[in-house]
Every structure is written in C-alpha cells, then in structure tokens.
C-alpha cells in the first residue's frame, strides 16, 4: 500500500479499510481501527478526537507492515498483542487461543450459579484441601469432634475453590477472580508457554496471588494434590480433526492446534475430563463446560452419567447455538470412594 501525500488519520483509516477489504479480510474496518489505535497508542475515543490530524509520516512504513500482516491472514489480536474479554484487557500471542465472546457467557453463568451456591462466599461442605500454596494443609488442622468409628473433620466454612481447566490466556480464571474476589481460583494448562501468559494477565488485571496456576493435564494436578474442588470450569479443545481444512485461515494457520482440536469427533477431552471427576476427593457442586456446535447433548449425557446432579443445563450463545453445558448440585457434594491423606 502506498501513500502519495500526507493523509489525515481518517484518510489513512479509510484507505486501510479499503485495502483490507480488497484482501477479503473479515470486519476490515474494525481491524483497521484496532491497528490504528495500536500504532498510535490511543484509545478509541482519542482516535476519534484526533481524526482530522495528519497521519505521522515517520510511521507510514510501520503502518504498511501492520496492514500487510493483517492482509496475509494473521489475527489482528496477535498483531496488536491484545484481546478484550469481559471488559478486561488480556495479552495474547500464538501460544494461546484468542478469547471469544461466547466464553464470556460461560463466565457469566458460573458467576450467577456460584453466587447462588455460595451466597455467603464460602463453600458449604467439609473441606480437605491439600497441596496448593494458597490452601491450608489438612495435616495442620485439628479435628472438631470424634466419633466411635473414627475421626470426622468438620472444617470451618471456607471460600469456594474453583478450578479453570485449560488456562490459555487466563481469561476465565482471571475474570472470575475479578468478578468474585471472595472465591479462591486455580487454573491449569499443559502448556508452560500458556501459563506464562496467564500469569502475566493475572498481574495485568490486579489478581496476582489470587489465582494459583498449575502445569498438568486436565484434572491430574488437582487429583495428585488431593484437592477438593467446589467448581470445575473449562473451555477445552473441541474441533473435530476432520474439520481442520474447513476452518478460517486465521484460525487454522495461526492459533495453537493443541487449543483447537479435540480428537476425531471433538469430544476426546470431554470424555477424559468427565471421567477424571470421579478421581477427585469429592464431586464438585458445579461443572461448566463450553462445547462446539452439535456437541451439547452428548456432553450433557456424559455429565449426567458421571454423577447425580440437581440439574444439567444446556445454554445457547447469542447466535442460538447450544454452547455451554452446566451441571449443578445444590446439596452437599458426595464423597468419593477412598480417602485423602
């Protein structure tokens, strides 16, 4: 793209929008605006206020490179290094999936149901949390009462412990920590690179130390530490491998495959995750999962077979697609076979 005279900010925006549209970029105008904000370091309101100013000539070459990257298909979020989620800024790069608006609805439902479950900010069942830096160790607690058949530990009420499985950028866990400061949050991912970004986003949004990050596969880190979780939330990879060629190039060529594909039918991670629920010290009171198109019924059936719930909800997104499956139990969670030392 060449510019023969000094354009105004508005003229540069119009030319960029036309250039991107000519390269069949989706939402070309929005992309041009975001790239302009990034280049100039301005908010949207400042951009509009300075609409008629001359474009900084010394930055024309940089501007051209940004547009060429976008025209080639690179997601604008990776170019500018940021994506907003639930009104919060999140750093993103090709090591993590770009947070989507649909996942905001999952967070919203978890917040609503969690506040109903723990209206006083505390979990309503006996706790036996072991292993997390921010959790007390069961060995350090004194029993409140004894029974003839053994010791029954009745712990004081504690804030609910909520685990986000598949941290990615940290969007779910960090947002929950901001929205529900009385909750304790943990988040895990198999990718060290993703966890580094998630930790950075926790710092960026003022909840550093409020979210404990673990490296590991699905629920394994929590099982190994004997943690008793009150809620499990996850947006796992769910795209069937056969659908890869049909994805938009922005997704297929740039976003991390490990965060996209869920096996042959897209349900592999759900099967493993739901099976692992039985290995936890106790079944959580709330499980919230994001799913792909056409997967909600199958995932709801898996959850229904895994435990006794008071309700299993299927919630559509704003496009009317069944997008989230949420299982809830309002009474005290059942203990699993065996004990936690």
Q: Which residues are annotated as a binding site for substrate?
A: 235-238
178 phi/psi in degrees, rounded to 5: -70, -45
Q: Write out the binding residues for S-adenosyl-L-methionine.
A: 166-170, 189, 235
In three-state form (DSSP H/G/I as H, E/B as E, the rest C), the secondary structure along the chain is: CCCCCCCEHHHHHHHHHHHHHHCCCCCHHHHHHHHHHHHHCCCHHHHHHCCCCECCHHHHHHHHHHHHHHHCCCCHHHHHCEEEECCEEEECCCCCCCCCHHHHHHHHHHHHHHHHHCCCCCCCCCCCCCCCCCCCCHHHCCCCEEECCEEECCCCCCCCEEEEECCCCCHHHHHHHHHCCCCEEEEEECCHHHHHHHHHHHHHCCCECCEEEEECCCCHHHHHCCCCCCEEEECCCCECHHHHHHCCHHHHHHCCHHHCECCCCCCHHHHHHHHHHCCCCECCCEEEEECCCCCHHHHHHHHHHHCCCCEEEEEECCCCCEEEEEEECCCCCCECCCCCC
Q: What six digits make up the tokens of 259? A: 């965060």
CA 61/CA 63 separation, integer angstroms: 5
User: Residues forming the annotated binding site?
Assistant: 166-170, 189, 235-238
């Amino acid at each position: 793209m060449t510019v023969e005279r000094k354009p105004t900010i508005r003229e540069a925006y119009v030319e960029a929008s036309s250039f991107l549209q000519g390269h069949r970029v989706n939402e070309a105008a929005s992309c041009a605006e975001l790239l302009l904000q990034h280049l100039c370091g301005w908010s949207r309101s400042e951009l509009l206020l300075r609409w008629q100013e001359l474009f900084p000539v010394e930055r024309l070459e940089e501007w051209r490179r940004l547009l060429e990257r976008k025209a080639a298909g690179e997601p604008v979020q990776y170019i500018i290094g940021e994506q907003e989620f639930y009104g919060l800024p999140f750093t993103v790069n090709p090591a993590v999936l770009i947070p989507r608006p649909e996942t905001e609805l999952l967070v919203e439902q978890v917040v609503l149901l969690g506040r109903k479950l723990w209206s006083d900010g505390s979990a309503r069942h006996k706790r036996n949390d072991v292993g997390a830096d921010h959790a007390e160790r069961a060995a350090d607690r004194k029993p409140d009462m004894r029974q003839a058949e053994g010791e029954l530990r009745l712990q004081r009420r504690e804030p609910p412990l909520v685990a986000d499985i598949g941290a990615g950028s940290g969007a779910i866990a960090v947002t929950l920590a901001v929205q529900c400061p009385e909750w304790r949050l943990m988040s895990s991912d198999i990718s060290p690179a993703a966890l580094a970004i998630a930790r950075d986003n926790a710092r960026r949004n003022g909840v550093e130390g409020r979210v404990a990050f673990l490296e590991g596969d699905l629920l394994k880190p929590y099982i190994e530490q004997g943690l008793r979780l009150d809620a499990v939330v996850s947006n796992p990879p769910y795209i069937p491998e056969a659908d890869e060629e049909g994805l938009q190039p922005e997704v297929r060529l740039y976003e991390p495959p490990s965060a996209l594909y869920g096996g042959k039918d897209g349900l592999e991670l759900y099967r493993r995750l739901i099976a692992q629920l039985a290995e936890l010290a106790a079944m959580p009171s709330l499980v919230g999962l994001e799913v792909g198109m056409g997967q909600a019924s199958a995932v709801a059936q898996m959850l229904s077979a895994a435990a006794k719930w008071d309700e299993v909800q299927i919630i559509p997104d704003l496009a009317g697609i069944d997008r989230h499956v949420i299982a809830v139990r309002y009474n005290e969670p059942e203990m699993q076979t065996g004990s936690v030392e």
